[in-house]
Amino acid sequence: METLSSSSFLPIFSRSNSSFLGIEKSPPRKITANSSFTNFPDPVRSKHPISENKREKQPLLANLFKSVDDFICNHLDSPLRPSVDPKRVLSGNFSPVDELPPTPCEVVEGSLPSCLDGVYFRNGPNPQFIPRVPYHIFDGDGMLHMIKISNGKATFCSRYVKTYKYMVERDLGHPIFPSGFASFNGLMASSARVGLTVARVLTGQYNPIVNGSGTANTSVALIAGKLYALGEGDLPYEIQVTSDGDIITIGRHDFQSSEPFMSMTAHPKIDPDTGETFAFRFHVIPPFLTFFRVGSDGRKGPDVPIFSMKSTALMHDFVVTKKYAIFNDVQMVISPLEILRGRPPMKVDSAKVPRLGIIDRYANDESGMWWIDVPEFNMLHSVNAWEEDDGETIVMVASNLTSVELTLEGLDLAELMLEEIRISVKDKKVVTRRPLSTKVLDLGVINPAYAGKNNRYVFGALIATPRTTTGVVKLDLSLSSDDCHDCIVASRMYGPGYFGNEPFFVPNDPAGDEDDGFLVTYVHNEITQESKFLVMDAKSPTLEIVASVKLPGRVPTGFHGLFVSQDHLTNP
């Protein structure tokens, strides 16, 4: 899934794999699972944000701070919760891999459709070093796994997003950035880590205020013709694809903003008709929510602060229609005071009633915004939203965390339901709300051309417990009614040992039917230890596999992906 990036919370300071046994006492090691691929040139090494002069003065302090960090890990940490135990978190296909340079792939089944000429990215957390305890899955450094397709042939590449955090820690040889999810593990350990972080910042070991602190590990977006890797704890990082199928990190990007800002959602909404991008960020001080827009020219517009938010909600996603932006004020909140109790600042407020906030997408302020209570609705991922009845009804489709109490400490056990919600604009209330399936579904996607418009088909990942993707389904929203308990009209199971990722829909013909296209995703077989790139016919009643590409490296389970055609790469 996509995450709530742990590094969102740095301003508060200014699964079984034998290789992880005993790491509590061991120094961090560079990931070397594919050691033959670790020595390729780094295209951005020359752009390191720390000067050589400053690095020469750091060794003594760095060693001192590392010793303090080791002491905290070995002697002050409370017993590890399952959510921050790396032996559990980084087991199976969640374990990290090395970078892999552009490598030709073999098409082992079928043939790649011509509409797939371009690149498919999948982003996800992949720690650069075997972590010292404690560690949360959301903490991993962003790694892009990309397949480039041209004339039916494929090249695969895996590269880290060269964030400020990645570069600083790479030079030091061990992790130093704290985590909002994992660092607060008992009162003594929490207090010590706060003090250590302050010391590191004051002595110039790193500067998260100026340079950011995020991992860029959640998603990929094409904004105003440029590619970005995103994680909501920081600004996006611009990336580029080279002609030979490699990935280069260009740098952190603020969209030429006239107002300083440090972060944004990893789920911006791009209007395919206007080229505009809509986004938000949340804060730990008022205003707790800020809405903004990036024009088709790539320039950020003015902020729209939302002061009607009463607290900091861990708002991961939102929806945008042709008229409105809609935010879900969820029960997952940030309370910095929890740090004083030795606990992570994120918690679930069971007494809070979730709300939906509706605002004009071109609003200059929040004066016209209105809120409605939607009990037990905690949106994790949105699918789409649009207006009907001449604008009098808003329809939104999204995944709801039906077991919200498990979200922060037991995400692999949390269940999600795909829901349709209809809102009366005139009466300012929810008219109907119904599940679209009885199955546990998430990571729903549509034909991108229908973003913000009335669409019929949704493709979602079938989730098993513990949290793994075992197949993909197709839902027909036209079947949604009080009498229909399941809108699934097609499905594809990956088979024994196979686990997948979020699907992505690639249109076959822009002028064709809504479901005329292909679903693409990565799958991994934990029995044979092989990863594949699958292409499925979205129109087929069985979501038939039309092509399968054997990948030269393992693709760990990750978060969100994006397909970009060669035309967009060549003519941004």
Annotated binding residues for Fe cation, written as ranges, equal 267, 316, 381, 560
Other Cβ atoms less than 10 A from the Cβ of 484: the count is 14
Return the closest-CA partner of residue 372 out of 389, 349, 348, 394.
394
Cα(356)–Cα(429) distance, integer angstroms: 10
Other Cβ atoms less than 10 A from the Cβ of 85: the count is 21
**What type of residue is 255?**
F
Cα(164)–Cα(172) distance, integer angstroms: 12
Cα(38)–Cα(30) distance, integer angstroms: 10
3-state class (DSSP) for residue 105: coil
Sign of the C-alpha dihedral computed for residues 146, 458, 230 and 301 taken in this order: positive
Cα(536)–Cα(512) distance, integer angstroms: 17
Strand bridging mode 393-401 / 416-424: antiparallel
Show Cβ contacts of residue 51 under 8 Å, excluding neighbours closer than 6 positions.
none
3-state class (DSSP) for residue 440: coil
Return the closest-CA partner of residue 71 out of 244, 161, 188, 168.
188
Cα(463)–Cα(471) distance, integer angstroms: 8
Cα(567)–Cα(571) distance, integer angstroms: 6
Cα(370)–Cα(327) distance, integer angstroms: 10
Show Cβ contacts of residue 351 under 8 Å, excluding neighbours closer than 6 positions.
none
Show Cβ contacts of residue 64 under 8 Å, excluding neighbours closer than 6 positions.
none
Q: Are 318 and 268 in contact (CB under 8 A)?
A: no
Cα(389)–Cα(454) distance, integer angstroms: 11
CA distances from 357 to 164, 371, 399 (A): 34, 4, 17
